[in-house]
Amino acid sequence: MQFLRRKTFAHGVHPPDNKENTNTKSVRRMAFAPELIIPLSQHFGAPAVPTVYEGQEVVRGEPIAKANGFISIPHHAPATGTIDRIELMQTARGPKTESIILKVTPGASQNVLYGSTREIADMTPQEIISAVQDSGIIGLGGAGFPTHVKLTVPKGHTVDTVLINGCECEPYLTTDHRVMLESVRDLIVGIRIILKSVGAERAIIGIEENKRDAIKAIRARLSPDEAITVRELKTKYPQGAEKILIKTILNREVPSGGYPSSAGVAVYNVSTSSQLGALLPYNQGLIERIVTITGPGVKKPGNYLIALGTPLRFVMEQVGYTGSANHLILGGPMMGTSVASLDVPVTKTVSAVLVLTEQEEAEQIPEKVYPCIKCGACVRACPIHLNPSQLTLLASKRRYGDMQEKFHLNDCFECGCCSYVCPSGIPLVQYFRIAKAVNRENRERIA
């Protein structure tokens, strides 16, 4: 009776999920900002190359930058308007990035004027993969890996099972949840497209038990003989991490340093899948995404459909701040990035904007960092079964090489469980990031 058992994985943590502010709110479209900023690099891989000139008029959905090679994606105009300029702009990732600035025509239509219908059933897997690249879709869960690359199964590997990630295990986030409630049709179409292009027989949608309504909604749309099934999982962080999801549902492990396809699996986020289903049949590009805007610092929390490139300042003006908001996080509280400036745009990987207030902040910042007391809480929390305590000890001695060679530093995917449970308030994940960066630099120097 395996299908009745709720599945989970060893270790991990249970942060309060704080989703109740937005999980019942339907997706609402946000107005166009007067100016949109589209960074050429919003993804993993080579930046796109602009195909427009300053002063050119573009319509909503028209390509404005093309992919530069296979591991790269194009971008499309999120609104009808005029290309104002192409210059270096600030992004949430830190360094300034070449970006296209689009002046939106006042009163521009929400309708997508670009694209044409086509029959997916008539397309070969190869054609689908290049169509996915043309649509500019990347992993919308936050990783930002181009989807067409993930759809290309490496030579010598076979994918027998596709996992669709509907866990959304990060606290506060409800974008995937809303997609699973509101866009079931697109989601199922998207999953069929994925199955066809990777050549897998079955797809399993993994959803945490705190989203029973989504499980119900999807099951209601699936016929019994369908290759797609839904699996209810226990609510635990980081259930939605690719490797952890594979372990939980299939009890397979991705070899250290390998790809999911080495284990015969491919994993896609529900938002990504539903965008595939929504865009591919109409030959359209990704120009907007759903973003959860929430946290105690927001007046009108909700799930908003936002045109890509909308500056954060505009977004925040639309939803309203409360007085003491002082910390903006793109993504969830466990793995999201703090933003230094409100002038950064919403990009393809922004799944949420979380606004924390001073009071909340004060509770989260440890008063004082104590030495490691070797309590072992991090060891019992690490979903990869690393020894974070030992890694930190080595990091404090700057033995970054040993961290990698003897203690598997590069298997850490920075989920944050160790820092979350540390009674000494040690920023373990930050230590690991520094170590990884130094190791990377050393490798490059030698190479």
Residues 352-371 that bind other proteins (CB under 8 A): 354, 356, 361, 364, 366-367, 370-371
The single residue among 407, 436, 438, 439 that binds other proteins, judged by CB under 8 A, is 407
Structure tokens given for 244: 């952890």
Nearest distance from C-beta of residue 264 to other proteins, angstroms: 5
Cα(47)–Cα(68) distance, rounded to whole angstroms? 7
Q: Which of residues 240-259 bind other proteins (CB under 8 A)?
A: 243, 247, 252-258
Question: Stretches 37-45, 189-197, 211-219, 385-393: which one binds other proteins (CB under 8 A)?
Answer: 385-393
- The verdict on 107 binding other proteins (CB under 8 A) reads no
* DSSP character string of 350-375: --EEEEEEHHHHHHHS-SSPPPP---
- Which of 93, 103, 408, 436 binds other proteins (CB under 8 A)? It is 408
Window 14-43: contact mask with other proteins (x via CB under 8 A): -xx---------------------------
- Helix (H) or strand (E) segment spanning residue 126: helix 125-135
Contact pick of 131, 149, 179, 372 for other proteins (by CB under 8 A) = 372
CB-nearer residue toward other proteins: 156 or 224: 156
Under the binding rule (CB under 8 A), the answer on residue 327 touching other proteins is yes
Chain center to CA of 301: 20
Is 55 or 320 the residue whose CB approaches other proteins more closely? 320
Sheet holding 35-39, edge to edge: 35-39, 97-104, 81-89, 57-58
Cβ 36 vs Cβ 345: under 8 Å: yes
Told to check if 318 binds other proteins by CB under 8 A, we report no
Query: Is 337 among the residues that bind other proteins (CB under 8 A)?
Result: yes
- Pick the piece of the chain touching other proteins (CB under 8 A) from 50-58, 183-191, 224-232, 372-380: 372-380
The nearer residue to other proteins, 95 or 255, going by C-beta atoms, is 255
Tokens of 175: 């974008």
Could you say whether residue 182 binds other proteins (CB under 8 A)?
no
Residue 328 as a binder of other proteins (CB under 8 A): the answer is yes
Q: Determine the interface stretch with other proteins among 132-140, 203-211, 281-289, 333-341 (rule: CB under 8 A).
A: 333-341
Rg (CA), the chain: 22
CB atoms under 10 Å from CB of 360, counted, come to: 18
Residue 420 sits in the site that holds other proteins (CB under 8 A): yes
If binding is defined by CB under 8 A, does position 424 make contact with other proteins? yes
The CB density around residue 393, as the number of other CB atoms within 10 Å, is 16
Give the binding-site size for other proteins (rule: CB under 8 A): 79
Cα 88 versus chain centre, distance: 24
- Residues 142 to 171: which contact other proteins by CB under 8 A? 156-158, 160, 171
Question: CA dist 279 to 28, 136, 137, 421, Å?
Answer: 19, 10, 9, 41
CA-based torsion, 277, 280, 282, 285: positive or negative: positive
Task: Closer to other proteins by CB, 32 or 420: give it.
Answer: 420
Region of 365 (left: φ > 0; alpha: ψ -120 to 50; beta: rest) is beta
CB 304 to other proteins: min, Å: 18
Contact between 387 and other proteins per CB under 8 A: yes
SS3 per-residue string spanning 168-229: CCCCCCCHHHHHHHHCHHHHHHHHHHHHHHHCCCEEEEEEEHHHHHHHHHHHHHCCCCCCEE
Place of tokens 């969830």: 332
Residues contacting residue 327 through CB under 8 Å, at least 6 positions apart: 297, 338, 355, 356, 357, 361
The 48-87 site mask, x for binding other proteins (CB under 8 A), equals ----------------------------------------
Query: Which of 88, 113, 375, 437 is the binder for other proteins (CB under 8 A)?
Result: 375
Q: Which of residues 256-295 bind other proteins (CB under 8 A)?
A: 256-258, 262-264
